[in-house]
Chain A
Amino acid sequence: NAGVMQNPRHLVRRRGQEARLRCSPMKGHSHVYWYRQLPEEGLKFMVYLQKENIIDESGMPKERFSAEFPKEGPSILRIQQVVRGDSAAYFCASSPSSGRGEQFFGPGTRLTVL
C-alpha cells in the first residue's frame, strides 16, 4: 500500500539551471497539491491539480514555476532558471476524489541551489 512517492529526494542545481520534481499520488487519489517549506517557515501552498487540469495556482510564483499532472505519469513541478532563494523542501500531497479534507504527504524533495 504505497504512499505518496516523490523523486528525487535530494536535488542540487546551479543557478540558472532547471529543476524537475516528480510526484506520484497514493493509489486511488486523483488530486495533487504542491507545498514549499522554506527554512524556519511553515509549509506554503503552491498549486492544486487534477489529471490534466490546474485547479488553483494561487500560491505559485508568477515566473519560472510551472506544474502539470498529465493523464499518464506523475505530477511534475518545474522550476526554470533556479535562484538561491528557491532552495527549500518541496512536498507533494494527494487526496481522494473529494478534493477536500485530509491530504497525505510524500517525503519531499530537498532542492539546493548553488
Chain B
Amino acid sequence: EDQVTQSPEALRLQEGESSSLNCSYTVSGLRGLFWYRQDPGKGPEFLFTLYSAGEEKEKERLKATLTKKESFLHITAPKPEDSATYLCAVQGHSGAGSYQLTFGKGTKLSVIP
C-alpha cells in the first residue's frame, strides 16, 4: 500500500525566512510525485510533478526536489501570500494505484509579515 508522510504538520515563518517542507513516501514503483497548494475552502491547486530521483522543478519562490525516498519543497524568501497548506501525493505503477493519487496530510504554512 502506498504511503505518504509530510513534515512538519505546521510551519510558521517570518517573511523572507527560507525553509523546506518534507514528503517521505513508500510506493511500489513511482509513476509520479505531485505537489499541490490548498487554500482554506478551496480545491488543491497543482504545482509540480516529479518523475525520477534527481529531478528538480521551480516556480517563483518554490523549488521541488526528489530522491528515491523523499521529496522536498523549498520555499525561498516567502511572502504572506505563500501561506497555505501544501500537499504531497504519489502515483504508483501497480494495479489500482496507477490511477489514484495517495496524499499526505499536508503541511500548513503560515508566513508572518
Contacts and interface: CB of A to CB of B under 8 A. Distances in A.
Interface of A: 4, 6, 33, 35, 40-45, 48, 55-56, 58-59, 91, 99-108, 110
B99 A56 contact: yes
B42 interface: yes
Interface stretch (B12-20, B73-81, B101-109): B101-109
Given A35-B103, A56-B99, A106-B43, 8 more contacts: A4-B43, A35-B101, A41-B105, A43-B101, A44-B103, A59-B100, A100-B99, A105-B36
Interface of B: 4, 31-32, 34, 36, 41-46, 49, 87, 89, 91, 96, 98-106
B46 A107 contact: no
A59 B103 CA distance: 13
A43 B103 CA distance: 6
Contact of B96 (A42, A58, A102, A105): A58
A107 B32 contact: no
A106 B42 CA distance: 8
Nearest to B48: A102
27 contacts: A6-B43, A33-B99, A35-B103, A42-B4, A42-B87, A42-B105, A43-B44, A43-B87, A43-B101, A45-B100, A45-B101, A45-B102, A48-B100, A56-B96, A91-B44, A100-B31, A100-B98, A101-B49, A102-B32, A102-B34, A102-B49, A103-B34, A103-B46, A104-B46, A105-B36, A105-B44, A110-B41
A4 B34 CA distance: 18
